[in-house]
Structure 1
Amino acid sequence: MTTDPDTGPIPRVGQRPAPQAPGRPATDVQTTELPAAEPAIEPPAPTPTTESIGPTLVPGAEKPAGRAGRDMVAAVGVGAALGSIILVSLLVWRPAFLLVVTAAILVAIVELTRALETGGARPPLVPVLAGGLAMLGLAWTRGPSGLLVGFLLTVLGVLLWRLADGPADYLRDASAGVLVTVYVPLLAGFAVLLLVPDDGAARVLAFIATVVGNDVGGFTAGVLFGKHPLAPSVSPKKSWEGMAGSVLACVLVATPIVTLALDGPWWGGVLFGAALAVTATVGDLGESLIKRDLGIKDMGDLLPGHGGIMDRLDSLLPSAAVAYLLLAWVAPA
């Protein structure tokens, strides 16, 4: 009987074969190597907490933004400068205020038009600018009827001007042009109507001072006591406590001006202040809604700490119309 030659001990899987005795041929045995050990996984870095995160920095700014999300030093400085320009123009020569309003409205029209273009709309800019000039001039010289005629002619100009670009997206672009016309020059025309009477400077001051009171009162009460959001999906920083502060501040500002400077009843000042607190807040929320829909933070960057001119007019524009109507009732010229 024939026997197989001795091949030596059988190696285990994963081990190197034992060395062969001298003179004994090595057998080509295939072995299976054990997999290399995986590197140790380092634990993830701890997630920063609110305590470890410093103040939020505004892009491009060296100083941290305040709780309002703005550079408050720049905002206060620019606000004081604008207030000085308005006050001097009203007290020195009333038509100078008309020039200030006209310049601001032309810039605001451009800002709002450019903002709407980021959303795909193309409002006709030329007819709105020309119509805005005409509306403010007619409001100064012809009163409410002149403002209305200027508005209708501007809307007609927008519709006809847009025809030159063809039918594609005509409704979208023409509607955007009408929106700009209503939102900016038409509402601003009521501020011009406030200026027309002999006591127009006092009427404009009552209107602007009350809106400023809305901003200051709302900001102060919101920072100190704000806990319940007013419209979180539109403006998360606004609160019901801030709204209460706005109403209180507006009433405190408006009542003495209406009673002492315009010879109106005390209840007229209270009504005027409360109404403008509502319209100023609605105007602010309305512009915030447009900006959120367009995905932009500000309408422009002309005013440090504020954004654009349009960002400062958002509360004033709707309030101008209500101020004109209420003062025509409680303190007629």
Structure 2
Amino acid sequence: MTSRPDAPGAGPAGDAADTGPIPLVRRVPAPPPVAPARAPATGPIAGSPPETPGTREIPVPTGAAALPGFGPDGVLDAGPVPGSDPEPDLVPPKSSRAGRNLVAAIGVGLALGAVILASLLVYPPAFLLVLGVAILIGVVELVRALEAGGARAPLAPLLVGTVAMLALAWLRGADGLVVAFLLTVVAVLFWRLGDGPEGYLRDATTGVFVALYVPLLAGFCVLLLVPDDGAVRVLAFIATVVGNDVGGYTAGVLFGRHPMAPSVSPKKSWEGMAGSIVACIAVATPIVTLGLGGPWWGGVLLGAALAVTATVGDLGESLIKRDLGIKDMGTLLPGHGGIMDRLDSLLPSAAVAYLLLSWVTPPPV
């Protein structure tokens, strides 16, 4: 039996049945298989280019460049290697070479200088108030810092003795300063008896050291202020010590190559010391000759001597801080540390300035 040519689904005579139009199929090449990323290698692969510091690149087969996490060269960026340096934009801004915030240090220094200068020029006795507040804070900072080393100096008699030393130095001169210091020492020794014998020698000796180091040396600054030209004498003393800091810092940063005392203060150099001497002489000479009517060599002598005492005072406090394992005596002054971190070079220089100025240019009677 033959089918009819015009029957539905029938093709020409003798052919198989027509199943309809054949759909057009487009062949799409299959993507190449992607091998799983290998674990991080512990060392470089032989023949591979060196790694970029801070990143680890894992090669994968070509064709994965369009996948997330792969670069155009078909390399997977596995992120920073543990222990490598952080990204450049995450590194905090560096401080100055001296290890301080230079902008804050300059701003605080200018503010302190303005207060001191205004008190000396407007009403010199007001300088006593500024000095007294600074010395009292310095005593507290030093006592608290020394406690880190296990020594507990009696604070109450030290504070009372500080006020007594500064007041008697103003009212009774050098004799009053010495008497107040001796009374403070006796008060410290007796006050410490109340805490028993354990650690007595250590604590009592520490208290005597604080009384000698801070209020007694500060009393010489008061003695400089007593004469009629006392404001100029104090200004000569403080300005010269400031010149020591500025000259030493500038010369040390620009030319410092040979450390002076690397185990105590690594940033101090002999080149910085030379800059301190030059700056101190440049500041002291015109003040001594023009402001106090002294000889030129007196200004040179004062400048050179204060450069030495200011540097020794700075190194001495650095030695104390290293022994105690602390960076600063306090945190009151941004960019500087504490009050004692500014008084370290001023305190020993006050005694030397008083003695030299009393000889080079005696105060008016």
Shorter-chain TM-score above 0.5: yes
> Distance between the aligned counterparts of 2:93 and 2:258, measured in 1?
29
Question: Which letter maps to 1:306?
Answer: H
**Other structure's SS at 1:230 match:** strand
> Distance between the aligned counterparts of 1:284 and 1:46, measured in 2?
45
Question: Which letter maps to 1:219?
Answer: Y
Unaligned regions of 5+ residues in structure 1, if any? 1-38
Map 1:136-285 to 2 at 5 A. 136-285=166-315
What are the superposed Cα offsets for residues 111-132 of structure 1, whole Å, 9 maximum, x if unpaired? 0000000110000000000000
Q: Give the one of 299, 305, 323 matched to 1:293.
A: 323
> Distance between the aligned counterparts of 1:288 and 1:273, measured in 2?
22
Counterpart check, 1:68 vs 2:98: yes
Q: Give the one of 311, 317, 326 matched to 2:356.
A: 326
> TM-score normalised to the size of structure 2?
0.76
Question: Which letter maps to 1:126?
Answer: A
What are the superposed Cα offsets for residues 50-82 of structure 1, whole Å, 9 maximum, x if unpaired? xx7899x99xxx642111100000000000000
> Distance between the aligned counterparts of 1:234 and 1:70, measured in 2?
17
Map 1:38-77 to 2 at 5 A. 42-43=42-43, 63-77=93-107
Counterpart check, 1:129 vs 2:129: no
Shift of 1:43: 2.6
Shift of 1:175: 0.5
> TM-score normalised to the size of structure 1?
0.83
Larger Rg: 2
Map 1:83-98 to 2 at 5 A. 83-98=113-128
Give the structure 1 partner of residue 141 of structure 2: 111
Unaligned regions of 5+ residues in structure 2, if any? 1-38, 45-50, 55-84
> Distance between the aligned counterparts of 1:247 and 1:54, measured in 2?
43
Question: Which letter maps to 2:102?
Answer: M
**Other structure's SS at 1:236 match:** strand
Question: Which letter maps to 1:43?
Answer: G
> Distance between the aligned counterparts of 1:217 and 1:53, measured in 2?
36
**Other structure's SS at 2:268 match:** strand
Note closer, same or farther for the CA distance 1:54–1:177 as it changes in structure 2 (3 Å cut).
farther
Question: Which letter maps to 2:208?
Answer: V
**Other structure's SS at 2:257 match:** coil
How many correspondences in the alignment?
A: 288
Note closer, same or farther for the CA distance 1:304–1:40 as it changes in structure 2 (3 Å cut).
closer
Shift of 1:46: 9.2
Higher relative contact order (CA 8 A, sep 6+): 1
> Distance between the aligned counterparts of 1:119 and 1:110, measured in 2?
15
> Distance between the aligned counterparts of 1:177 and 1:46, measured in 2?
58
Shift of 1:47: 8.5
Identity of aligned residues (%): 75
Shift of 1:294: 0.1
